[in-house]
Amino acid sequence: MAVTIRKVGVIGSGQMGHGIAHVAALAGFDVVLSDVSADRVKSALATINGHLQRQVAKGTLTEEARKAALARIVPADTFDGFADCDLVIETAVEKEEVKRKIFHDVCAVLKPEAIVASDTSSISITRLAAATDRPEKFIGIHFMNPVPVMELVELIRGIATNDETFDAARTFVGKLGKQVAVSEDFPAFIVNRILLPMINEAIYTLYEGVGNVEAIDAAMKLGAHHPMGPLELADFIGLDTCLSIMQVLHEGLADSKYRPCPLLVKYVEAGWLGRKTQRGFYDYRGDKPVPTR
């Protein structure tokens, strides 16, 4: 039977989670947002409000619409808050064991017809689905960052995903005003299969001394019209996330061209993960970003 999605649960209130909650609430869906601590959800709600206020200031949103969207998002302390959701989207850290545990725990409280989705950027949807009690109702819904701005969503079926689930997910994404790209369930799907090796190659270019940070970023911004240079983009994504996607590609496809650059590994080991830790390929602690190499 076809599922009508009206209420959406979002697990994880970080960059992706609060972005998904934002666009879903604006599109008229009721949203339940949870995280490991109530403080994280509180700060996510403040961030969402700030972003909505910016839209009001720009004139792309009315004050009434802002208030209505905000009122549609409710926090949940436990997974019990997802009991009546039609769709639950997981946006936790890009670690398979963490995601599998979440799916195992949340499925216990969901209604039988609820759809479960992962926003994973690289992990096998088929494998994650196998950790649930409903592999046919499991799908990959991969949003791009930042969610309110980026138009694309990748939809990825696992081997068991049925047509009703796929159609419901596609309709949901359409209501958010996003475009769908359908990807097969291969490591890193379409966008990151192409994007992350490019970023990794830019890091090799730095590592081998072909160019410095500024030269590499300027080359791709001015020479290929990329809105952000690859090293700047790596800092924005998070170097830990970049590394974990490269590891998924390297392990999943067993091709040496996906070997993570040793310099990327070193930065992650140093805890220099990009913007979120104030240091990556740039140092963000001053008035303007300064290259760290």
Catalytic residues: 121, 142, 154, 192
Q: Pairing mode, if any, of strands 290-291 and 282-283? A: antiparallel
Give me the numbers of helices (H) and strands (E) for the chain, helices first please.
Answer: 11, 10
Report the alpha-carbon distance of residue 164 to residue 162 in Å, rounded.
6
Q: Residue 90 in 3-state DSSP?
A: strand
Greatest Cα-to-Cα distance within the chain, rounded to the nearest angstrom: 58
Does residue 10 contact residue 21 with C-beta atoms inside 8 Å? yes
Report the alpha-carbon distance of residue 61 to residue 123 in Å, rounded.
35
C-beta atoms surrounding 120 within 10 Å? 25
Q: Residue 157 in 3-state DSSP?
A: strand
Cα-based distances in Å from 194 to 115, 190, 249: 29, 7, 11
Phi and psi at residue 197, in whole multiples of 5°? Answer: -60, -30
Q: Residue 280 in 3-state DSSP?
A: coil
Phi and psi at residue 58, in whole multiples of 5°? Answer: -80, -15
What angle do helix axes 63-71 and 15-26 make, rounded to 10 degrees? 120
Rama region for 274: left / alpha / beta (φ>0; ψ in -120 to 50; rest): left
Report the alpha-carbon distance of residue 45 to residue 103 in Å, rounded.
24
Cis peptide before 187 (omega within 30 of 0): no
